[in-house]
Amino acid sequence: MEKNSITHVILTGGVGSRLWPLSRKSKPKQYLDIFDGKSLFEMTVDRNKNLADKVMVVGNIDNCHLSKAVLEKSNTEYIDIIESTPRNTAAAIAFAAFASSADDILIVTPSDHIIGEIQLYEQAIQEAIEKAAKGFIVTFGIVPTKPETGYGYIERKGDNVVSFREKPNQVSARDFIAKGNFLWNSGMFCFKANVFLEELKVYAPDVYDTSKLAWESNKDGILNLELSLTIPSISVDYAIMERSKKIKVVSSHFEWSDLGSFESVYDYLITIGHSVDENGNMVIGTNNYTAFIGVKDTIFVHTENANLILKKEFSQDVKSVYNALERKKSNLLD
């Protein structure tokens, strides 16, 4: 039996609003070089190099040049799919599946996650590929290390998914951890292209039909704006994962963080030796001498035209600052 061709599909659409002012529309968090001198996007490309035969990048018109610069630097050949407007993950993944052969196995990953313990990561990928080859749609669940409220959860029994849960409050998160059969939802998937498209056709036919039309009229991988605007903007979790009967979960032990907030960036930077003062205060973005008086666990984020000062535990609230600036159509988001 011949081996399925494996494609690493990298989704690069997010804007990282909880990491403003570091993350901007012109340079979202996955392209920032604040992580060990490499961007998260570059680290994503590197970690999957040996696991796949092909690389495919699904990005948008505003960031495709940033992906191109990284991939050209490392001489990586890739298939480029450029969305003219963001339509969420169900459509983004559908485009990758339409661009593939029916039996190709796709490993779909975001471009802005930190992953450690690569041996365990590769083990999880191999397990997922085996399940995908049998016709399952595989999601990766991370064994939780703490009752995190910033992530969605997967309730499981063995490798079967019982339910998907939205980001919980602190009480529910503790309850999930205590029960022991809940995993963090990593937003990574593995499946055969045709299996994904068949399930999309069944459970979200409107997304399937409109994505197919948009894909069929692409010009060199660039999708038509008018046709794209007809695609319902829904997540793959909602379109397929919560509905399909073909879902399996791989329970994974590798280190994982989606770096979705300054709290998780703070925790990661400490592990690579970024300095904090004796009260746990951290400076990001400047080498200027900065003194903190009367505060602890505070993060000072400096950029050329905007600063942010926050208590670490209020990291999720950065999005409200971003949303307020968006309502004002502020150029501080660009």
Q: Where are the beta strands (DSSP E) in 153-214?
A: 153-157, 160-165, 182-192
Mean pLDDT over 177-191 rounds to 92
pLDDT bin (cut points 50, 70, 90) of residue 62 is: confident
pTM of the entire predicted model: 0.90
- The angle formed by the CA atoms of residues 280, 278 and 296, to the nearest 5 degrees, is 40
pLDDT bin (cut points 50, 70, 90) of residue 271 is: confident
C-alpha span between 4 and 129 (Å, rounded): 9
- Determine the pLDDT at residue 334: 86
Instruction: Give the CA dihedral 318, 322, 327, 332, nearest 10 degrees.
Output: 140
What structural domains does the chain harbor? Answer: 6-257 (3.90.550.10), 262-333 (no CATH)
The answer to whether the beta carbons of residues 268 and 255 sit under 8 Å apart is no
CA atoms within 13 A on the CB side of 317: 7
pLDDT bin (cut points 50, 70, 90) of residue 2 is: low
Given a cut of 60, is residue 212 above it in pLDDT? yes
- Determine the pLDDT at residue 303: 93
- Determine the pLDDT at residue 34: 76
Name the burial class of residue 321, with classes exposed (0-12), middle (13-18) and buried (19+) by CB atoms within 10 angstroms of its CB: middle
Pairing state of beta strands 160-165 and 153-157?
antiparallel
Digit-coded pLDDT (tens) for 282-325: 999 999 999 999 999 999 999 999 999 999 999 989 999 999 99
pLDDT bin (cut points 50, 70, 90) of residue 1 is: very low
pLDDT bin (cut points 50, 70, 90) of residue 149 is: confident
pLDDT bin (cut points 50, 70, 90) of residue 135 is: very high
The answer to whether the beta carbons of residues 186 and 113 sit under 8 Å apart is yes
- Determine the pLDDT at residue 302: 94
Digit-coded pLDDT (tens) for 6-52: 999 999 977 778 899 999 888 888 998 877 778 899 999 999 988 99
Digit-coded pLDDT (tens) for 76-116: 888 888 988 889 999 999 999 999 999 999 999 999 898 98
Given a cut of 50, is residue 266 above it in pLDDT? yes
C-alpha span between 302 and 289 (Å, rounded): 12
